[in-house]
């Protein structure tokens, strides 16, 4: 328990030094979901307890819940000609810890390169990439912690940037009450090579999550509080434009799992911030809503989700994992 308290203290110290960094950050692809299950629950989740290696990239403390020697391959369609792929592999280290390695790759495809007059002079490509190592440890039977180290690279035509980042997470899980609670600080760190002479922060995010499985129904409910480091005084003073309810709800992600059997799930979610940012006032659409399902058969795990993370297109995400 003392180690867990020290871990939480480290998170708080890091948050205090970086809480002023906001959405003006670079490397925004780091905020896209990696797990199709988390994506189905509103686009993010830090507290569901599953044998799913991809959840460790939303909260590194969840890695200790996964089977050792699992290989995961993942794909997400993002925008037109823009696709994200990722892969991960984990292994047990002793009785109480696990280690995983992963890579994310976002390819924007080929784009036309024009001069100042608009003449096409060729094509160029743009891509984002992150290489990650995740380590998690069980402090007690109910408390686990984890850390993710990231090497981040972006290349847009003739400019590129390099950065180093860290995620820190804690998870408390009570199996008797079927209750889980987590705190995660994502994307601590900064650029070591800038695009130009301007130093830009990583997209830091402080999250708190809760998950509770109902005792007499095959339903599991989740609440994720996101962007808790981003509270602006103007939000509370300008009540003519933003009510207190709207301000608070922008930090809420809610989700529900229906569990027909022990090896299947169907998930739905709603992200209030995405709804606020992407909604079209002319016609109703599915901004903010997400849905997905998963199946675990023997050593094979498959997950799929559908959601919208950009005003221009919807996204389909697929996870495939094999326990070796």
pLDDT computed for residue 1 by the predictor: 40
- Give me the residue spans of the domains in the chain: 2-108+124-323
Low-confidence ranges of the chain (pLDDT < 70): 1-25, 110-119, 121-124, 232-244, 278-285, 311-312
What pLDDT shows up at residue 22? Answer: 47
Task: Output the pLDDT for position 195.
Answer: 85
What is the tens place of the pLDDT at every residue in 161-170?
999 999 999 9
Contact 171, 180 (CB under 8 A): yes
- Please report the pLDDT score of residue 242 as a whole number: 56
Q: What is the pLDDT of residue 13?
A: 40
Residue 172: per-residue pLDDT: 98
Query: What's the first-to-final CA gap in the chain, in angstroms?
Result: 33
Q: What residues have CB less than 8 Å from 272, skipping those under 6 apart?
A: 249, 250, 251, 252, 253, 288
Which pLDDT tens digit goes with each residue over 163-189?
Answer: 999 999 999 999 999 999 999 999 999
CATH placement of domain 2-108+124-323: 2.40.160.40
Structure tokens at 192: 């070591």
Rounded to whole angstroms, how far apart are CA atoms 256 and 268?
6
- pLDDT at residue 292, rounded to an integer: 97
Predicted pLDDT at 257: 98
Q: What is the pLDDT of residues 75-130, one digit of tens each?
A: 999 877 788 999 999 999 988 999 999 999 998 876 666 666 666 766 667 889 99
At residue 111, the pLDDT reads: 64
β-bridge partners, 190: 164
């Amino acid at each position: 328990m003392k180690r867990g308290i020290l871990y939480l203290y480290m998170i708080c110290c890091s948050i205090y030094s970086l809480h002023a960094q906001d959405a003006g950050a670079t490397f925004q692809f780091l905020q896209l979901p990696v797990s199709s299950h988390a994506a189905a629950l509103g686009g993010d989740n830090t507290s569901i307890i599953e044998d799913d290696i991809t959840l460790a990239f939303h909260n590194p403390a969840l890695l200790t819940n996964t089977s050792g020697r699992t290989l995961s391959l993942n794909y997400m369609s993002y925008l037109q000609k823009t696709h994200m792929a990722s892969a991960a592999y984990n292994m047990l280290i002793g009785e109480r810890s696990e280690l995983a390695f992963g890579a994310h790759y976002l390819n924007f495809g080929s784009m036309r390169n024009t001069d100042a007059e608009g003449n096409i002079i060729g094509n160029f490509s743009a891509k984002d990439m992150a290489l990650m190592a995740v380590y998690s440890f069980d402090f007690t039977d109910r408390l686990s912690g984890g850390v993710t180290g990231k090497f981040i690279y972006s290349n847009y035509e003739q400019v590129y940037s390099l950065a180093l980042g860290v995620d820190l997470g804690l998870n408390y899980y009570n199996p008797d009450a079927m209750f889980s609670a987590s705190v995660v600080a994502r994307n601590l760190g900064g650029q070591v090579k800038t695009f130009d002479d301007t130093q830009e922060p990583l997209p830091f995010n402080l999250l708190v999550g809760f998950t509770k499985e109902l005792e007499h129904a095959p339903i599991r409910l989740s609440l994720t509080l996101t962007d808790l480091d981003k509270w602006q005084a103007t939000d509370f003073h300008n009540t003519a434009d933003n009510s207190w309810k709207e301000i608070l709800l922008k930090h809420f992600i809610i989700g529900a799992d229906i569990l027909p059997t022990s090896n299947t799930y169907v998930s739905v979610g709603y992200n209030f911030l995405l709804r606020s940012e992407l909604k079209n006032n002319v016609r109703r659409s599915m901004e903010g809503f997400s849905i997905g399902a998963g199946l675990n058969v023997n050593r094979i795990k498959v997950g799929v989700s559908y959601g919208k993370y950009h005003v221009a297109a919807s996204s389909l995400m697929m996870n495939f994992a094999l326990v070796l």
